[in-house]
Amino acid sequence: MEIITLSHGSGGKTTHKLIENLFYKNFKNDILLQKNDSSILQKMNGKVAVTTDSFVIKPIFFLGGDIGKLSICGTINDLAVSGAKPMYITVGFIIEEGLEIGILEKIVMSMAKMAKQANVKVIAGDTKVVEKGSVDKIFINTTGIGLIEDRQLYLCANNIQEGDKVIISGSLGDHGMCIMSQREELGLDANIKSDCNLLNTLIKDILNTSKNIRIMRDPTRGGLATTLNEIIAHSNRSIVLNEKDIFIKEEVMSMCQMLGFDPLYVANEGKVVVIVSKDDANKVLDTMRGDPLGKNATIIGEIIDDNKNRVYLKTDIGGTRILNMHDGELLPRIC
């Protein structure tokens, strides 16, 4: 069984072998194969979107994905929700010595598959190996570059207007609870699948359906509640959500209750939240439901003009809770 050693990151012969046999082989494309210190891109015709993200997930393989798939999907989705067509991606690995090369290979193949599916080129990369214990198995950083072809398109919280609808593409909390349930030491036997997926096609279709999309986001870390709080903080308006319209899978809900988490604050990796004009909402909803990744899309709320920058949740029994931005851990409240 071959394993990664410190020499794989030293820049010497072993490093080269790894790059040739693993990275070039899987990611190969004209730009990467320039094999220069930096990759040179052609001039892009439009506005350019850039995003970067690091992935430090544990476990690295989970039901519905792995750290490789996640590192490509996460970055591509960030480009897509900004209205950009994902074009290029760079990848950086920080690997703990001792990782099996077979595992690394699986991860790289998974990344290559996603990049291909999204029609994105991996154009640069880097590998570092660190001593045992310095990182947990493997960390991946990806940077994405996308092109905004439509010069009129400007997705921004300032666009939001009273009466606009909030649409979510499907169930909430799947990714976060999947990861939690598969942490080995917890010994849970739940079968929750992560929703980790590429959203670029779905989002392209949404943008082609309506010119009145105000803003889109993928509610990853912090979940829907945090994402909506971030959006609304810059808008002078508030959002009212209806609990009864929010879809949470039964197994996700019961895991949340067991661990004391609120599914509205749990991460998703294959969901998009769309704020769209009232008039276009149903049209957009139909489009979303036509895509397998949006088949459970629903309108979950709307924008109100109360100047308080709050996210409200109308509960099933008719009360209204404020969904605050959490800073740090969730502490039990007073008495």
Looking at 21, 208, 257, 282, which residue binds other proteins (CB under 8 A)? 257
Whether residue 59 is preceded by a cis peptide bond, meaning omega within 30 degrees of 0, is yes
Residue 271 Cβ vs Fe ion, minimum distance, rounded to whole Å: 39
Interacting residues of 265 by C-beta distance below 8 A, sequence separation 6+: 222, 223, 224, 225, 226, 326, 330
Interaction pattern, residues 204-243, with other proteins; x per rule: CB under 8 A: ----------------------------------------
Interacting residues of 17 by C-beta distance below 8 A, sequence separation 6+: none
Q: Specify the residue, 44 or 325, whose C-beta has the smaller distance to other proteins.
A: 325
147-186 residues in contact with other proteins (CB under 8 A) are 180, 183, 185-186
Residue 137 Cβ vs Mg ion, minimum distance, rounded to whole Å: 20
Residue 197 Cβ vs Mg ion, minimum distance, rounded to whole Å: 14
Distance CA 237, CA 260 (A): 30
Q: Specify the residue, 41 or 258, whose C-beta has the smaller distance to other proteins.
A: 258
* Six token digits for residue 168: 């979510």
By CB under 5 A, tell whether 269 contacts Mg ion: no
Interaction pattern, residues 306-335, with Fe ion; x per rule: CB under 5 A: -----------------------------x
239: which strand partners?
303, 311
By CB under 8 A, tell whether 307 contacts other proteins: no
| Phi and psi, residue 163, nearest 5° | 90, -15
By CB under 8 A, tell whether 332 contacts other proteins: yes
**Look-up of token digits 């480009």:** 79
Q: How far is CA 67 from CA 138, 139, 142, 204, in A?
A: 9, 8, 11, 25
- Furthest C-alpha separation in the chain: 67
Q: Specify the residue, 217 or 237, whose C-beta has the smaller distance to other proteins.
A: 237
Contact 102, 66 (CB under 8 A): no
Q: Specify the residue, 120 or 313, whose C-beta has the smaller distance to Mg ion.
A: 120
By CB under 8 A, tell whether 62 contacts other proteins: no
187 contacts which partner out of Mg ion, other proteins, Fe ion, none, CB within 5 to 8 A by kind?
A: other proteins
DSSP structural state of residue 282? H
The torsion of the CA quartet 253, 310, 78, 156, rounded to 10 degrees, works out to 150
174 contacts which partner out of Mg ion, other proteins, Fe ion, none, CB within 5 to 8 A by kind?
A: none
By CB under 8 A, tell whether 265 contacts other proteins: no
Contact 67, 60 (CB under 8 A): yes
Contact 235, 157 (CB under 8 A): yes
By CB under 5 A, tell whether 146 contacts Mg ion: no
- DSSP for 77-108 reads HHHHHTTPEEEEEEEEEEEETT-BHHHHHHHH
Which residue's Cβ has the minimum distance to Mg ion?
Answer: 53
43-82 residues in contact with Mg ion (CB under 5 A) are 53, 74, 78
Footprint on this chain of Fe ion (rule: CB under 5 A): 335
Footprint on this chain of other proteins (rule: CB under 8 A): 180, 183, 185-188, 257-261, 312, 315, 317-322, 324, 326-335
Footprint on this chain of Mg ion (rule: CB under 5 A): 53, 74, 78
